[in-house]
């Protein structure tokens, strides 16, 4: 079982640490363990309860009413939050769904968002903040591999499903070839890039995870794509990253490479001469192929 400090609860729930202490004392909402120096340590159950309380409070429930609810009642009321409030607390609902591995809550939250604002805004405004916030949980070792796979596969499944709804371009040329390098398995960002381009009518070929370099070059020679799109999330050696993109540019001199992901964002100075950093992908592709 993971252990959280009060600061972790504050980041993940959105409730200030000072407020958590007051509610803990006044309503006996949590039961943290304490170290010899009186530092609070919270459990998975405390975190889930704190996030559920945050959701209901933002949905208009008074804390005095919330304090009388059982964990089951908290969960049931969270499931019933809908409309605008559901959008406001979507990130918190996704965190609870991941901790509890609750597929229904995860599925319903994503579906509500997509029906309300579409997949593009769901990804940029909700899923990216969700992924940023659970990064804290990775740092404290509070997400186990099963939770990570559960969450990633549900998001992956949803993006693929939404992409399948789109018409396939009838263009004879390939506007964008999407791939991940051989060391990279995390494809959610690349799947979303593919959705955005397909949604705007571009023709794409999606190669997916861990594409061997020689196989990529063969595919480029066969298809002659007008651009290439990739994403780098897994940490690699600076020299490897720079040499990879330099080699790709030298071997595919007429094909612009658009790259995103945390590794590109954090080390853009190393690769800026060889790539276009992704910002607004559809507009960038349109400008490069026009």
Instruction: Report the alpha-carbon distance of residue 240 to residue 223 in Å, rounded.
Output: 26
Query: In the prediction, which pLDDT does 39 show?
Result: 79
Query: In the prediction, which pLDDT does 40 show?
Result: 79
CATH topology of domain 6-161: Multidrug-efflux Transporter Regulator; Chain: A; Domain 2 (1.10.1660)
Q: What is the CATH number of domain 168-289?
A: 3.40.50.280
Enumerate residue ranges in the chain where pLDDT < 50. 83-84
This prediction has a pTM of: 0.80
Q: Residue 153's Cα: distance from chain center in Å?
A: 11
Query: Where are the domains positioned within the chain?
Result: 6-161, 168-289
Query: In the prediction, which pLDDT does 75 show?
Result: 82
Q: Using CA atoms in the order 199, 118, 188, 263, what is the torsion angle rounded to 10 degrees?
A: 90
Beta bridge partners of 258: 229, 276
The pLDDT mean for the chain works out to 88
């Amino acid at each position: 079982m993971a252990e959280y400090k009060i600061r972790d609860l504050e980041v993940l729930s959105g409730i200030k640490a000072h407020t958590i202490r007051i509610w803990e004392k006044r309503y006996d909402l949590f039961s943290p363990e304490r170290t010899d120096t009186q530092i609070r340590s919270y459990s998975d159950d405390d975190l889930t309860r704190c996030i559920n309380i945050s959701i209901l409070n933002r949905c208009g429930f008074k804390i005095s009413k919330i304090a009388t609810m059982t964990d089951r009642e908290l969960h049931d009321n969270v499931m019933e939050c809908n409309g605008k409030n559901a959008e406001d607390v979507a990130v918190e609902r996704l965190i609870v769904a991941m901790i509890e591995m609750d597929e229904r809550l995860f599925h319903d939250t994503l579906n509500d968002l997509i029906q309300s604002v579409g997949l593009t805004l769901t990804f940029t405004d909700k899923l990216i903040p969700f992924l940023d916030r659970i990064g804290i949980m990775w740092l404290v070792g509070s997400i186990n591999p099963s939770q990570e796979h559960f969450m990633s596969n549900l998001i992956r499944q949803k993006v693929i499903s939404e992409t399948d709804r789109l018409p396939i371009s009838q263009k004879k040329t390939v506007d964008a070839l999407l791939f991940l390098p051989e060391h990279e398995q995390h494809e959610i960002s690349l799947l979303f890039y593919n959705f955005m381009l397909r949604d705007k009518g571009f023709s794409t070929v999606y190669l997916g995870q861990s594409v061997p370099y020689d196989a990529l070059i063969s595919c480029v020679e066969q298809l002659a794509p007008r651009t290439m799109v990739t994403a780098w999330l897994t940490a690699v050696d600076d020299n490897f990253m720079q040499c990879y993109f330099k080699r790709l540019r030298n071997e595919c001199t007429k094909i612009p490479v658009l790259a995103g992901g945390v590794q590109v964002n954090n080390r853009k100075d190393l690769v800026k001469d060889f790539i276009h950093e992704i910002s607004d992908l559809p507009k960038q592709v349109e400008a490069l192929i026009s």
